[in-house]
């Protein structure tokens, strides 16, 4: 048992992996959640161990309530939960709304919205002073798409990230007096694998001219903001959304 447990959903790759490594280096025992890629999750755990940290990989689909309950139950055995990074999310192939099926919408909303809400619910049950907890930090992963709308690319993805904005603001105020801080980061164009899902080869490079800083961001740069929001350095910050987008948002 330890006194600093952090759950990172979708923690095996991209921003989630970078956040997991930084939390591990900061002394948290990290629960690296993953949906399917066990090798990537084990790689993240090994990387945390290599830098002297502690971590475990736990499989679970955040679109399924039973999997979420099992994930949090497994984390309970390690110690009291102090951090949830609500990172798991998907982006589908480039499409207009009038080309989207109900199945596509349901799948994306189940993962990006329902999963995040259920994970936040379980975190509040454990962190809130109302429930006997000692407080904690929830960091949601938003996107500049929630501001820009992602027209012609994936308005359903943008809408799901808009839901993260509302969850952050509303829940942040709801549990502020219970010792829980709820914040979000809003990444812009970040060099991660998620862009491959859009089916647009080289999308990151193509977007550079549209970014005021003329470059894409890195997963580590987003993870630095996440770590700050989990730390005592942001002790008076809640219900806030931090853009990490090179000025494009």
Q: Name all domains of the chain by residue range, CATH numbers in brackets.
A: 5-244 (3.40.50.720)
Please give the structure tokens belonging to residue 223: 């993870």
Whether the pLDDT of residue 200 is over 90: the answer is: no
Which pLDDT belongs to residue 61? 98
Composition of the chain by helix, strand, coil, percent to 5:
50, 15, 35
In angstroms, the CA 238 to CA 33 distance is 24
In angstroms, the CA 138 to CA 182 distance is 5
Strand partners, 7: 31, 84
Which pLDDT belongs to residue 136? 98
pLDDT digits (tens, 9 = 90+) for 87-118: 999 999 999 999 999 999 999 999 999 999 99
The radius of gyration of the chain from alpha carbons, rounded to an integer in Å, stands at 17
Q: What is the DSSP string of 54-90?
A: EEEEEE--TTSHHHHHHHHHHHHTT--EEEEEE----
Q: What is the mean pLDDT of residues 211-216?
A: 94
Whether the pLDDT of residue 195 is over 90: the answer is: no
Write down how long the chain is. 249
Whether the pLDDT of residue 149 is over 90: the answer is: yes
Dihedral (CA of 226, 166, 246, 176) sign? negative
Task: Please list, in sequence order, all residues whose beta carbon lies within 8 angstroms of the beta carbon of residue 247, skipping any fewer than 6 positions away.
Answer: 211, 212, 213
In angstroms, the CA 69 to CA 208 distance is 41
pLDDT digits (tens, 9 = 90+) for 172-190: 999 999 999 999 999 999 9
Q: What's the whole-number average pLDDT of the chain? A: 95
Could you give the percent of the chain with pLDDT greater than 70?
98
Whether the pLDDT of residue 194 is over 80: the answer is: no
Q: Which of 28, 34, 157, 236 is catalytic?
A: 157
Is residue 204 very low, low, confident or very high in pLDDT (cuts 50, 70, 90)?
Answer: confident
pLDDT digits (tens, 9 = 90+) for 17-75: 999 999 999 999 999 999 999 999 999 999 999 999 999 999 999 999 999 999 999 99
Contact 15, 21 (CB under 8 A): no
Q: State yes or no: is 157 an active-site residue.
A: yes
Can you say how many angstroms the Cα of residue 58 is from the centroid of all Cα atoms in its chain?
16
């Amino acid at each position: 048992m330890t006194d600093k447990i952090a759950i990172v959903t979708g923690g095996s790759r991209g921003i989630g992996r970078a956040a997991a490594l930084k939390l591990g280096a900061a002394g948290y025992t990290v629960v690296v959640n993953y949906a399917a890629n066990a090798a990537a999750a084990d790689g993240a755990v090994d990387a945390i161990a290599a830098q002297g940290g502690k971590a475990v990989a736990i499989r679970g689909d955040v679109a399924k309530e039973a999997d979420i309950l099992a994930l949090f139950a497994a984390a309970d055995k390690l110690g009291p939960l102090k951090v949830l990074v609500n990172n798991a999310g998907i982006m589908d192939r480039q499409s207009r709304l009038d080309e989207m099926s109900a199945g596509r919408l349901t799948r994306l909303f189940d993962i990006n919205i329902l999963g995040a809400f259920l994970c936040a619910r379980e975190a509040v049950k454990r962190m809130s002073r109302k429930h006997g907890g000692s407080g904690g930090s929830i960091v949601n992963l938003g996107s500049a798409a929630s501001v820009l709308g992602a027209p012609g690319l994936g308005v359903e993805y943008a809408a799901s990230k808009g839901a993260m904005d509302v969850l952050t603001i509303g829940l942040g105020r709801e549990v502020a007096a219970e010792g829980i801080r709820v914040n979000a980061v809003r990444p812009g164009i970040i060099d991660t694998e998620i862009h491959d899902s859009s089916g647009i080869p080289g999308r990151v490079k193509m977007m550079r001219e549209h970014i005021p800083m003329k470059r894409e961001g890195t997963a580590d740069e987003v993870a630095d903001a996440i770590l700050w929001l989990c730390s005592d350095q942001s002790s008076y910050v809640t219900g806030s959304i931090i853009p990490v987008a090179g000025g494009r948002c």
